[in-house]
Amino acid sequence: MTDKLNPAILASNLLRAQDYRSAIPALSENYPDATAEDAYVVQVTAMADRISRNDPIIGARVGVHDRRPVFSLYPRSALMGTFEVADLSQMIQPIVQPVLTLRLFKELAGPGVTEEMVREATETVVGAIEIIDHRMVTPDGLQHIDVVADNGGISKILIGEHGLDISHDGDQLRNLKVRFNVDGEETGPPVGEITSPLSAVAALANHLGEQGGRLEADWFVVVGPLCAPAPLTVAAKVQLEIDDMAAVRLRAR
C-alpha cells in the first residue's frame, strides 16, 4: 500500500460520489504510484461499507481495461427488476453494454479452479444489459487502477430470463451471434474482448481465492462486454439478442 493512500477514505469518497452523483478525481491522478493491489483494497473496502448498509454481494464480474482483467463485485442494489426502467437521474455518466451472465448452482473456490469446473458449476448462461457509471474522472482517461478501485464502474444490470445449457458443451460460448442496439443503432466490436468466458470466470474464482473469498453457489457471474458500450440517455431503448437466448430490453428515463 502506498504511504499516502488511505483505502477507507477513498472508498468512502467513492460511495459519496455515487450517493450525490458527483464524480471525484481519479486515483491515478492523486496517487500515481498506486498499484492494482492497492486499488483492489479500495474496492473491497467500499464493498464492505455496502454490506454494512444492508447491500450484500450477489454476483461478480470479469471485464477488461487496458488489456488487463478487472474483477468486480455486484451489490444487491445493482440488480434491476424485469420491468424496471433505468433512472438516469441517479447516475453520473452512464454507458450501456451487453454481457454474458453465468448463473451458478455450485460454489467455486480457488486456487485451482478450471474451465471444466466452471462449466460444471453453471446452471445456465443468459444475456444481460449492464449500465456502467464511473465515479472517477481524469482529463487523460481512466487508468486500470481507477477502474479497479471503482469496482469496474458497476451501476445496474438487467439479466435475461432464458439462456443456454452448457452442461455438455461449453465451447458454444466462443461463437455467439450478438446483436446489440441502442435506439436502433448497433454498436461495434468491444475493445479487449474476452474470447473464453469460462476461462475468465476461472481466473475470477482464483483471484477471489487468493483473498480468502469464493464465488458463491447462488451468485451470478458476468463476463463482457460483448460489444462496444454506448452512452445511455433519457428515453433510450436498448435491446440485446444472443443466438436463441431470450431478448433483453432496457429502457431509461
Mean pLDDT (whole number) for 100-111: 95
What pLDDT, in 10s, does the model give residues 5-25?
999 999 999 999 999 999 999
Whether residue 112 is contained in a domain is answered as yes
Q: Render pLDDT for 17-46 as a digit per residue (tens, 0 to 9).
A: 999 999 999 999 999 999 999 999 999 999
| Residue 1 confidence (pLDDT) above 60 | no
Sign of CA dihedral 204, 207, 209, 213: negative
Nearest to 63 by CA among 71, 51, 55: 71
Number of domains making up the chain: 1
Q: Which three cell numbers stand for residue 220?
A: 451470478
CATH, residue 136: 3.90.850.10
SS3 call for 247: coil
Tens-place pLDDT, residues 145-195: 999 999 999 999 999 988 899 988 888 898 899 999 999 999 988 887 788
Query: What is the domain extent for residue 25?
Result: 7-251
Q: Is residue 75 part of a domain?
A: yes
Torsion of CA 169, 119, 165, 216, to 10 degrees: 180
Q: What are the start-end ranges of the E strands in 4-56?
A: 24-25
**Residue 140 pLDDT class (50, 70, 90 cuts):** confident
Residue 4 has φ and ψ, to the nearest 5°, of: -95, -15
Does 208 map to a domain?
yes
Q: Is residue 2 part of a domain?
A: no
Q: Is residue 137 part of a domain?
A: yes
102 falls within a domain: yes
Span 126-139, average pLDDT: 95
Q: Does the pLDDT value for residue 2 go beyond 70?
A: no
pTM attached to this predicted model: 0.94
Residue 96 lies in a domain: yes
The closest alpha carbon to 181, from 230, 218, 132, belongs to: 230
Could you read off the pLDDT of 60-101 as tens digits, one per residue? 999 999 889 999 999 999 999 999 999 999 999 999 999 999
Q: What is the pLDDT of residue 3?
A: 58
If we measure between CA atoms, which residue out of 128, 135, 71 comes closest to residue 97? 128
Mean pLDDT of 204-224: 95
Report yes or no on 1 lying in a domain. no
Interior angle at CA 223, CA 90 and CA 40, nearest 5: 70
Dihedral (CA of 36, 217, 58, 64) sign:
positive
